[in-house]
């Protein structure tokens, strides 16, 4: 018996056209899952990589925070007939001091990172409850779910809120056989951290605190997402698994 086998299951992954989301989608495909990718833009590169692994890829082009979660799930179900997993990965970040941070930037970040994540989880959970089927929801939080950070007030607030939401949903939906957990990536080499990595001083400060001595990669999240979506994690609920090279332990 392979407790990590995901064959026959369908995972919806948001923001998977590149970066961490693409890495998460490929990890689940490697474990046997078919993938529904929800992206604002073209995700043909992810499609090619998923199909090269012998799995099916269904693209749903949608803007979280604009298109309704019900419509996104309905479009997915038209092609797949079922959803078993949701990976709330899509997110955005705006950097500015708290003294000058604008309401426009606040809303742009919180609407995608927190509000859209909740209502998409709600739509997928309703589908699972109607089917009478167990399911897995994994929210991509952050080490800033545990720390304050600097110059990212809306991002910190949204990721802290997402961790609290993960725990609440775990409490409410466990009775339906739905587990809700979070992955908390550390400092990863993605578009969101490009400005930090290009700032020699800040990059050196960050790397100096990471015990692993390097920025994380999308591949570093593979084991965590496969585990949390698998039968091996059937009794893991409301947990945040940090994948940070030891950042929080320092």
Q: How many helices (H) and strands (E) does the chain have?
A: 9, 7
Catalytic residue among 57, 155, 187, 235: 155
Which of the 8 DSSP states describes residue 69? H
Is position 155 annotated as part of the catalytic site? yes
DSSP string computed for 186-233: -SBSSGGGHHHHH-HHHHHHHHHH-TT-S-B-GGGGHHHHHHHHSGGG
Closest residue by Cα to residue 60 from 77, 48, 45: 77
- Which two structure tokens, joined as six digits, stand for 219? 């591949």
User: Measured between alpha carbons, how far is 244 from 247 in angstroms, rounded to an integer?
Assistant: 5
User: Measured between alpha carbons, how far is 136 from 236 in angstroms, rounded to an integer?
Assistant: 10
User: Measured between alpha carbons, how far is 24 from 90 in angstroms, rounded to an integer?
Assistant: 11
Active site residues: 155
């Amino acid at each position: 018996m392979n407790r990590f086998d995901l064959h026959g299951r369908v995972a919806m992954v948001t923001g998977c056209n590149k970066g961490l989301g693409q890495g998460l989608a490929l990890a689940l495909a490697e474990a046997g899952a078919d993938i529904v990718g929800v992206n604002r833009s073209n995700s043909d590169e992810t499609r090619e990589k998923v199909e090269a692994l012998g799995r099916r890829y269904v693209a749903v082009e949608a803007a979280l925070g604009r298109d309704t979660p019900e419509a996104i799930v309905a479009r997915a179900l038209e092609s797949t007939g079922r959803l078993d997993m949701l990976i709330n990965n899509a997110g955005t970040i705006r950097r500015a001091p708290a003294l000058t941070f604008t309401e426009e930037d606040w809303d742009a970040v919180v609407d995608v990172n927190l509000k859209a994540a909740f209502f998409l989880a709600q739509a997928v959970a309703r589908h699972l409850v109607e089917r009478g089927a167990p399911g897995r929801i994994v929210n991509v939080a952050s080490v800033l779910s545990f720390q304050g950070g600097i110059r990212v007030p809306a991002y910190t607030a949204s990721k802290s809120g997402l961790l609290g939401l993960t725990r609440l949903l775990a409490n409410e939906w466990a009775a339906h056989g739905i587990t809700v957990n979070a992955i908390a990536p550390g400092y990863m080499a993605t578009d969101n951290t490009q400005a930090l990595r290009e700032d020699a001083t800040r990059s050196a400060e960050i790397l100096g605190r990471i015990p692993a001595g390097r920025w994380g990669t999308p591949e570093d999240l593979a084991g965590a997402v496969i585990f949390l979506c698998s039968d091996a994690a059937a009794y893991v609920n409301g947990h945040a698994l940090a994948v940070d090279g030891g950042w929080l332990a320092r």
